[in-house]
A and B are shown apart, each in its own frame.
Chain A
Amino acid sequence: DVKVTQSSRYLVKRTGEKVFLECVQDMDHENMFWYRQDPGLGLRLIYFSYDVKMKEKGDIPEGYSVSREKKERFSLILESASTNQTSMYLCASSLQGDLFDTQYFGPGTRLTVL
């Protein structure tokens, strides 16, 4: 079974702090994604990556950056956290050869910025 793990289930940070959210997948998937989930808005794509050291902006990249130094790990960085970044963050991965784009999700990190 594919396993996608996220470093924290719950996180509380203060405004202005630098925040790192880590995601690791164990199935050698090329594609990795970061979403944020907010009530009534569904999932919105922040950043994604097709390969090591490669990244592309999603629909809402402002205020975020990412890092992919190893194939299995994709990190989301909030350079200076703000209260409007309080949300659920979901990481996902998929196989590049899978034309039908099934994504496998981690359990999520619920981030609260005070």
Chain B
Amino acid sequence: AQSVTQLGSHVSVSEGALVLLRCNYSSSVPPYLFWYVQYPNQGLQLLLKYTSAATLVKGINGFEAEFKKSETSFHLTKPSAHMSDAAEYFCAVTKRNQGGKLIFGQGTELSVKP
């Protein structure tokens, strides 16, 4: 069975610091992996997705994630945090022929201090 684990339910960084949000997955077959972001009082929107084309994936708002098969990880990074990055971030996994079903991690809330 597939699953996703996000390490750290809360992460706090200073403005301008590196953002690193961790995601590990388990899957018996090559997965498709996603990061979604949820700003306060809004639904989720897609940040980026890994679909086996390239291991380093660039997304919106300066975020990127690297797929590491040996570590079963798909960590999200951003070189310099901005106050507007404060939100909740969800990692999700699916695989081919799942009919669109996503398995979500528990979520990580990112706080950015001035």
Contacts and interface: CB of A to CB of B under 8 A. Distances in A.
A42 B104 contact: yes
B96 to A, nearest CB: 7
A59 to B, nearest CB: 9
A58 B98 CA distance: 12
Interface residues of A, number: 29
Interface string B41-53: 1111110010100
B68 interface: no
Nearest to A96: B100
Contact of B106 (A40, A92, A106): A40
Contacts of B104: 35, 42-44
B101 interface: yes
A107 B42 contact: yes
Contacts of B102: 43, 45, 101, 103
28 contacts: A9-B41, A31-B99, A35-B104, A40-B9, A40-B106, A42-B104, A42-B107, A43-B90, A45-B102, A48-B101, A50-B99, A50-B100, A92-B44, A100-B49, A101-B32, A101-B34, A101-B98, A101-B100, A101-B101, A103-B44, A103-B100, A103-B102, A104-B46, A105-B36, A105-B45, A106-B43, A107-B41, A107-B43
